[in-house]
Amino acid sequence: MAATQFLWRHPALVKAWIFILCLAPLGLLVWDGFHDLLGANPIEKIMRRTGDWVLYFLLITLAVTPLRNAFGWRRLLQYRRMLGLFTFFYVVLHFLNYLVLDQFFAWDEIVKDIIKRPYITVGFSAFVLLIPLAATSTNRMMKRLGKNWKKLHSLIYLIGVLAIVHYLWLVKADNREPLIYAAILVVLLLLRTRWVTRMLNNRSGQVIQQAVTRE
């Protein structure tokens, strides 16, 4: 209990801890690289791992708002920006791996891929769409854009769909994993619809009220 209270009073510490945690997947990748644990096809392995983490971070980021609504954890919102930026960070690694290690700057092949291969077209679009979101994530940009900021950042829903379609379209036959992510995304998006939030608001309102009266 004491530990929780300590953390409650020191949100910066929590934030630092989450930051380190978010770097762990990269750390593990580097570790595995140096210890020959990336298998026979390391470039493909890096592609998979960074891709997986993009999806995890995307879904975690999208879970923040519904969790806050459901449980009244207002503080979660402080970490949403960082989680979103880590999504972008892993997308950049994913793309650099494609550009440098996989294709080694074979521009003609890359252009062909982006135009001709639907799963790459979709994945690349998701990456490009994320750039303005990352660029406008500062407090100053939030203020400057005002109401438009929210509009712009609702692009993340589209990006989420594109990212999962990207995965779904690249598997050969076993689409169990992308379908699991798709199901989670659908739930996270449904939780944002008006009737669900209203329902949840009422319930969490009751929970909070009960907690307050108990105190």
Count the neighbouring beta carbons within 10 Å of the beta carbon of residue 117: 14
Which of 39-47, 52-60, 160-168, 178-186 is the region at the interface with other proteins (rule: CB under 8 A)?
39-47
Which of 54, 83, 93, 185 touches other proteins by CB under 8 A?
Answer: 93
What single letter denotes the amino acid at residue 6?
Answer: F
Task: Quote the least distance from Cβ 97 to other proteins, whole Å.
Answer: 6
106 binds other proteins per the rule CB under 8 A: yes
Angle subtended by helix axes 194-214 and 42-71, to nearest 10: 60
The one among 68, 117, 153, 192 contacting other proteins by CB under 8 A: 117
Would you say 163 and 95 are in contact if contact means Cβ atoms under 8 Å apart?
no
Would you count residue 107 as binding other proteins (CB under 8 A)? no
Tracing tokens 């892993």 back to the chain, one arrives at 90
Say if residues 181 and 59 touch (Cβ distance below 8 Å).
yes
Q: Name the residue nearer to other proteins (CB basis): 92 or 145.
A: 92
| SS3 of residue 10 by DSSP | coil
Q: Which residues bind other proteins (CB under 8 A)?
A: 26, 29-30, 32-44, 46, 93, 96-97, 100-101, 103-104, 106, 109, 112-113, 116-119, 169-170, 172-174, 176
